[in-house]
């Protein structure tokens, strides 16, 4: 579930911002900024804070109730889940029963942005913990404590900020949070603004203006303002699920994905792209429930696997492609064209099928998914809907929640898989993977050993597709072979239509044999065999990669 922070703007205030196109500026003068960065922290504390009379350490003596949303602390609710506050002290915690207030407001976590020992001359000083309070005071009451040390009036690294906001996002799933530094204005304002940029995908300018609107005086120096703008740019690459052709590799994408994910989802998707995972999940849901945005006549659904060309849903075997040596990964040449007949489909779902006791909805769902998986040309409506979701994934923070709740034409899900895998910088199954298959014998009885030659993401993707195919079982051998070929086309980045290349197939094969002492088709046949063995293994053992198997078992069939 995704939690979008609600931004409660004042209408008049926000309307003024629409006409202000200037970049947001520092609240301090350039001279003041330079002084704060050049003077030692202890001297800064004496000059600007007031020592024991610091108003931020004695809020009740300087601020009225409207400026203390949490009684006893200079605090403001920035959103429905995030409270910005000045630092608490043991005296204030006890006098104003801060713990009880936290419990009443459902504040489950406190984020401390201070460094240990800072502002030791302010208010009541610091304890042996290095802070004005003992973190155990909160932790003993089941309130999580997080310390992200950030020097006062300074800016943190962009990676540090990203690490912090991902933890904040995780903490908010448990309940509301309180964030503080010293006054709860500079570092606190920056990290909350960065979180809104990260979580709500708003601009840096809007985030700064909103935090300042809710808590005047926040985000003080020009460096702090600039830090939020830089963070917005830094996040851009992490958010791209669909880019231009060859923009990123599988390895690079997974590294970026793992930075943004957290908790169980991160563990589950450590080696699987979320877009592929979600598309397969929804395809399985269609198989199990028969729920799809396309209406299928239950009396004719067996025969609709063979579609006419006018509907652009041909399930004929993928065409042979001629390639150059530099495009060696984009070819997966079938032995010969296979024509699917109604009899073949009836063999899959007919009266003699082992699947005859399965619910009719599941049979309809399996039929529609099988048809989609064997389709290589897509209607314009499917292409348009696919493009819509690509843009939504790149720009909308709620895209994944909406995606999971949508009833899809399975063709859209298949095209998303197709487009994502074929636009990677390099194929999932690379040349070195195919060559390693030749050097290592395949053992059907010990498929796990054979898979050890591949990297984990390759194994997980192959296992994911193998599991998907098992949901379509029982299938005639010919049909299963077509599905395996389709999967290998994706993994090897084979194009659906013949490429316009100058080198003919014969010359390519001759050059390939000279370079690698084997035929390319022979390597593909080895990959075919390992997928075939993997499907048999998954069917017999019902488990392989824990994350994949647990996911399939947990798919809610009621949705």
- What pLDDT does 317 receive? 35
Q: What letters, b where the CB count within 10 A reaches 16 and e where it falls short, cover 248-257?
A: bebeebbeeb
- What pLDDT does 19 receive? 47
**Spans of all domains in the chain:** 11-238, 255-317+337-553
- What pLDDT does 153 receive? 77
| Helices 360-373, 410-422: crossing angle, 10 deg rounding | 30
- 510 upstream amide cis, omega within 30 of 0: no
- What pLDDT does 199 receive? 93
Alpha carbons 469 and 394: distance in angstroms, whole number: 29
Alpha carbons 235 and 346: distance in angstroms, whole number: 51
- What pLDDT does 115 receive? 92
**Taking the alpha carbons of 260, 266, 268, 272 in that order, is the dihedral positive or negative?**
positive
CATH number of 11-238: 3.90.190.10
Alpha carbons 522 and 499: distance in angstroms, whole number: 21
Alpha carbons 393 and 279: distance in angstroms, whole number: 13
pLDDT tens-place values along the chain, 559 residues long: 578 899 988 766 665 565 455 567 667 666 566 666 666 666 666 666 766 778 888 898 899 999 999 999 999 999 999 999 999 999 999 999 999 999 999 999 999 999 998 887 787 888 999 999 999 999 999 999 999 999 887 889 999 999 999 999 999 999 999 999 999 999 999 999 999 999 999 999 999 999 999 999 999 888 999 999 999 999 988 888 887 666 789 999 999 998 888 778 888 899 999 999 999 999 999 988 877 665 444 333 333 333 333 333 333 333 333 222 223 223 333 333 233 323 233 333 333 334 444 455 557 888 999 999 999 899 999 999 999 999 999 988 889 989 999 889 999 999 999 999 988 998 998 887 777 777 776 666 677 777 788 889 998 999 899 989 988 888 888 899 999 999 998 998 875 433 333 445 555 555 556 565 566 666 777 778 778 878 877 776 654 444 444 545 554 433 3
Out of 45, 57, 108, 181, pick the active-site residue: 181
- What pLDDT does 496 receive? 40
The answer to whether residue 515 is catalytic is: no
What are the two backbone dihedrals, phi and then psi, of residue 342, each rounded to the nearest 5 degrees? -60, -30
Q: Going edge to edge, which strands form the sheet with 107-112?
A: 75-77, 82-85, 176-180, 107-112, 144-147
- What pLDDT does 35 receive? 60
- What pLDDT does 510 receive? 57
For residue 424, which of 400, 456, 396, 458 has the smallest C-alpha distance? Answer: 458
SS3 178: strand
pTM for this entry: 0.73
């Amino acid at each position: 579930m995704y939690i979008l922070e609600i931004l409660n703007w004042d209408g008049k205030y926000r309307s003024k911002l629409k006409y202000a196109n200037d970049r947001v500026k520092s609240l301090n003068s350039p001279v003041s900024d330079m002084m704060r960065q050049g003077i030692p922290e202890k001297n800064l504390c004496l000059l600007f804070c007031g020592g024991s009379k610091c108003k931020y350490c004695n809020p009740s003596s300087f601020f009225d109730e409207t400026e203390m949303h949490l009684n006893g602390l200079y605090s403001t609710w920035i959103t429905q889940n995030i409270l910005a506050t000045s630092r608490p002290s043991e005296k204030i915690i006890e006098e104003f029963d801060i713990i009880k207030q936290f419990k009443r407001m459902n504040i489950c976590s406190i984020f401390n942005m201070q460094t240990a020992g800072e502002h030791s001359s302010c208010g009541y000083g610091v304890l042996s913990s290095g802070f004005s309070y003992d973190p155990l005071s909160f932790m003993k009451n089941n309130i999580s404590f997080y310390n992200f040390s950030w020097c006062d009036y300074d800016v943190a690294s962009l990676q540090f900020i990203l690490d912090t906001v991902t933890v904040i996002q995780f903490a908010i799933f448990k309940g509301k949070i309180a964030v503080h530094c010293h006054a709860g204005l500079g570092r606190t304002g920056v990290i909350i603004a960065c979180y809104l940029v990260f979580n709500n995908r708003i601009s840096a300018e809007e985030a700064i203006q909103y935090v300042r609107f809710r808590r005047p005086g926040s985000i003080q120096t020009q460096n702090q303002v600039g830090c939020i703008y830089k963070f917005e740019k830094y996040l851009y690459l992490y958010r791209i699920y669909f880019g231009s052709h060859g923009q990123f590799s599988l390895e690079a994408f997974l590294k970026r994905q793992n930075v943004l994910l957290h908790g169980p989802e991160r563990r589950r998707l450590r080696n699987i792209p979320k877009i592929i995972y979600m598309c397969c999940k929804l395809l399985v849901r269609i198989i199990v429930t028969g729920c799809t945005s396309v209406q299928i006549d239950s009396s004719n659904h067996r025969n609709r696997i063979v579609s006419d060309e006018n509907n652009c849903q041909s399930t004929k075997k993928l065409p042979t492609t001629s390639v150059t040596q530099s495009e060696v990964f984009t070819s997966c040449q079938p032995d010969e064209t296979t024509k699917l007949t109604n009899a073949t489909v009836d063999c899959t779902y007919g009266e003699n099928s082992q699947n005859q006791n399965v619910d009719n909805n599941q049979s309809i769902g399996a039929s529609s998914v099988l048809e989609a998986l064997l389709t290589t040309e897509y209607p314009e409506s499917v292409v348009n809907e696919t493009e819509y979701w690509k843009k939504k994934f790149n720009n909308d923070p709620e895209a994944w929640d909406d995606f999971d709740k949508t009833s899809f034409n399975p063709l859209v899900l298949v095209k998303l898989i197709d487009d994502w895998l074929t636009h990677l910088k390099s194929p999932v199954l690379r040349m070195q993977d195919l060559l390693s298959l030749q050097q290592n014998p395949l053992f059907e009885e010990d498929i796990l050993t054979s898979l050890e030659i591949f990297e984990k993401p390759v194994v997980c993707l192959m296992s994911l597709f193998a599991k998907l195919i098992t949901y379509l079982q029982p299938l005639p051998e010919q049909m299963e072979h077509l599905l395996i070929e389709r999967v290998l086309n994706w993994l090897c980045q084979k194009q659906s239509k013949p490429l316009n290349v100058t080198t003919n197939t014969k010359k390519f094969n001759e050059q390939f044999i000279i370079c690698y002492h084997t035929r390319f088709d022979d390597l593909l046949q080895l990959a075919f065999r390992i997928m075939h063995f993997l499907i048999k293994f998954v069917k017999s053992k019902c488990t392989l990669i824990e994350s994949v198997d647990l996911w399939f078992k947990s798919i809610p069939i009621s949705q």
